Structure 1
């Protein structure tokens, strides 16, 4: 598989590993046999139709749902199941699909609440999102949907994540805004070294910024491989979405 990050002769030490991950709700298994290995600065696009289990994967990685089977390992250390505090302490930060902002607080206050000691300054974070610089005193509930999504990601960045989980970054946003936001994901990975796991419905835009990609259908991995390779073989993606392709 090719990668946008530089390759050495040895396989890089993974920052995030999922080994045989199965996840769901109670006795109902939604996602099965998920295996992922990502090194610093890599972006994984998690694709698939609605109801495929993508959000279940993200909330399980973040410790908000108990694992049914398997392991989640960050920098060589296995994480306990259903312990969001432990996951966050290990460096996993989730940007939820509802953004979960404090809408009555200002943009600056939302960032200050999340800021971790020793993490990047607000000024450094604003370099990623210059549109927010003039909105720092405005309440989060009064800014546009695109600006709210920028704020949600910026709030994650001030926590200095090792693994940044972004669930449905483009939800409710106009395509032109999505085209501006998704390249920031690539920049975050390149400049901070964080692993980024991105759930995204805009398949081709996601593949442009990702190193690796997988397609979930009914909780099974139907296709997995290099994002660059999948981008030039749309017929594989179409077959996977239709349930006709096995993982490669």
Structure 2
């Protein structure tokens, strides 16, 4: 397994937000983390990335435990986060944003151009002048040049029109298939997320109310609705 969480509790100070979470994301697969606002999804992502120390449990990449609250160590172990605010250098061009993030041995900029061809006409444009969708593609590209083993994508669709999201999310599937990275995708567009994911987990108030194969959950909207409401019928599929 490329990413494994065992009994992870995450939060701020002594306040737990996500409790006792077990999660396995094999290499080359996508796990969608779904749930209403305030469910603890971003807290979970920050904890996996080492930006928050875990309050309990263990996080491991390729069988090696990650130290708590050490983002540089997590990144050196292959964990890369695409944050919901994209965190681009807005005064630098697309090419410069990619070059500054690129790790030795990572994909070349030409390979990124092939993966995200919509960026080619904007190659020498400042990131601050890009559209929201282009900025999101650049944020993903900047993650890819770091050669991730585990790619965390937090709210890829934030602030974007649904039609743009429909074009962006399939790239997540392509990245998993072509790079072998284990991808954790936090997403509010449930239907689109389930179309590109292999598995899914629903978090409500920090607890898992439903989990299972994405294809199975896609065909059971009533279970998803119950899970979002935190009802007793929203039991784990596996």
Query: Same fold per TM (> 0.5)?
Result: yes
Q: What's the counterpart of residue 25 of structure 1?
A: 12
Q: What's the counterpart of residue 99 of structure 2?
A: 112
1:46-61 equivalences in 2 (<5 Å): 46-61=33-48
**Aligned-partner Cα distance in 2 for 1:129–1:78:** 32
Q: What's the counterpart of residue 54 of structure 2?
A: 67
Deviations 1:170-220 (A, max 9, x none): 000010000000000000000000001000000010000000000000000
Confirm or deny that 1:202 pairs with 2:189: yes
Confirm or deny that 1:247 pairs with 2:228: no
The 3-state SS of whatever aligns with 1:187 is: helix
Q: Please, which of 232, 237, 241 is the counterpart of residue 219 of structure 2?
A: 232
**Aligned-partner Cα distance in 1 for 2:195–2:138:** 23
Give the drift of 1:247.
Answer: 2.4
Q: What's the counterpart of residue 168 of structure 1?
A: 155
Deviations 1:153-177 (A, max 9, x none): 0000000000000000000001000
- For structure 2, the 5+ residue unaligned runs are none
Q: CA RMSD in A?
A: 0.6
**Aligned-partner Cα distance in 1 for 2:92–2:173:** 29
**Aligned-partner Cα distance in 1 for 2:130–2:25:** 34
Question: Where does structure 1 differ by over 4 angstroms across 4 or more consecutive aligned residues?
Answer: none
Give the drift of 1:39.
Answer: 1.2
**Aligned-partner Cα distance in 2 for 1:139–1:33:** 43
Give the drift of 1:232.
Answer: 0.5
Q: Please, which of 110, 116, 135 is the counterpart of residue 123 of structure 1?
A: 110
Give the drift of 1:83.
Answer: 0.2
**Aligned-partner Cα distance in 2 for 1:33–1:204:** 27
**Aligned-partner Cα distance in 1 for 2:92–2:106:** 21
Q: What's the counterpart of residue 177 of structure 2?
A: 190
**Aligned-partner Cα distance in 2 for 1:228–1:64:** 32
**Aligned-partner Cα distance in 2 for 1:229–1:20:** 25
Deviations 1:34-76 (A, max 9, x none): 1111211010000000000000000000000010000000001
**Aligned-partner Cα distance in 1 for 2:10–2:113:** 35
Give the drift of 1:229.
Answer: 0.4
**Aligned-partner Cα distance in 1 for 2:210–2:138:** 32
- For structure 1, the 5+ residue unaligned runs are 1-13
**Aligned-partner Cα distance in 1 for 2:89–2:128:** 8
**Aligned-partner Cα distance in 2 for 1:38–1:17:** 6
Across the two proteins, how many residue pairs are aligned to each other? 235
The 3-state SS of whatever aligns with 2:115 is: coil
